[in-house]
Amino acid sequence: MHNVLWIVIVLISHEAFQYFKTCFHAFQTSAQRVIPTSKAPVLYHHVILWTCTCLHGIFITDMPELRLNLITKEWVIISTERAKRPEDFKVKGKEKAVAQFVETCPFCPGNEDKTPEEVFRVSDGDTWKIRVVPNKFAALHRTAERMRLNDGYKHVISGFGIHDVIIETPLHNMTTALQPVDHLAEIIRTYKRRFIELYSDTRIGHVIIFKNHGERAGTSLEHPHSQIIGTPVTPFQVRSRIEEAMRFFDITGECLICKTLTEEKGEGSRVILETDHFIVFIPYAAISAFHTWIFPKRHSAAFSDITEDEMQDLALNLKTLLCKLYFGLNNPDYNYLIFSNRIKDAKSEYSHWYMSIIPRITTTAGFELGSGIYINASLPEKNAEYLRTVKVPHSL
pTM equals 0.84
396: in domain: no
Split into its structural domains, the chain has a count of 2
The domain boundary, picked from 62, 86, 109, lies at 62
126 and 145 in contact (C-beta within 8 Å)?
no
Same domain membership, residue 249 and residue 326: yes
Task: Please state the separation of Cα 18 from the chain's center in Å.
Answer: 47
117: in domain: yes
CATH number at residue 200: 3.30.428.10
The domain boundary, picked from 62, 85, 113, lies at 62
Same domain membership, residue 58 and residue 114: no
185: in domain: yes
Same domain membership, residue 111 and residue 239: yes
Same domain membership, residue 367 and residue 261: yes
127: in domain: yes
- Residues near 42 by beta carbon (within 8 Å), at least 6 away in sequence: none
236 and 243 in contact (C-beta within 8 Å)?
no
Same domain membership, residue 358 and residue 257: yes
Residue 94's pLDDT is 64
SS3 358: strand
Same domain membership, residue 135 and residue 17: no
Q: Which domain holds residue 39?
A: 2-62
Residue 124's pLDDT is 87
The domain boundary, picked from 39, 62, 85, lies at 62
CA distance 333 to 214: 5
Same domain membership, residue 45 and residue 166: no
Same domain membership, residue 222 and residue 137: yes
Q: What is the pLDDT along the chain (396 residues), one digit of tens a residue?
A: 444 444 444 444 444 445 444 444 444 444 444 444 444 444 444 444 445 444 444 444 568 999 999 999 999 999 877 778 999 999 987 667 889 999 999 999 999 999 999 999 999 888 999 999 999 999 999 988 888 999 999 999 999 999 999 999 999 999 999 999 999 999 999 999 999 999 999 999 999 999 999 999 999 899 999 999 999 999 999 999 999 999 999 999 999 999 999 999 999 999 999 999 999 999 999 999 999 999 999 999 999 999 999 999 999 999 999 999 999 999 999 999 999 999 999 999 999 999 999 999 998 899 999 999 999 999 999 999 999 999 988 777
167: in domain: yes
30: in domain: yes
Burial grade of 134 (CB within 10 A; 0-12, 13-18, 19 or more): middle
395: in domain: no
394: in domain: no
Same domain membership, residue 167 and residue 91: yes
Question: Where are the extended beta strands (E) located within the chain?
Answer: 65-69, 74-78, 120-124, 127-134, 148-151, 154-157, 162-167, 206-213, 225-231, 271-274, 278-281, 292-296, 334-339, 354-359, 374-376
Question: Which residue among 225, 277, 291, 352 is the active-site one?
Answer: 225
Same domain membership, residue 255 and residue 236: yes
Residue 225 a catalytic site member: yes
Same domain membership, residue 53 and residue 79: no
Same domain membership, residue 127 and residue 58: no
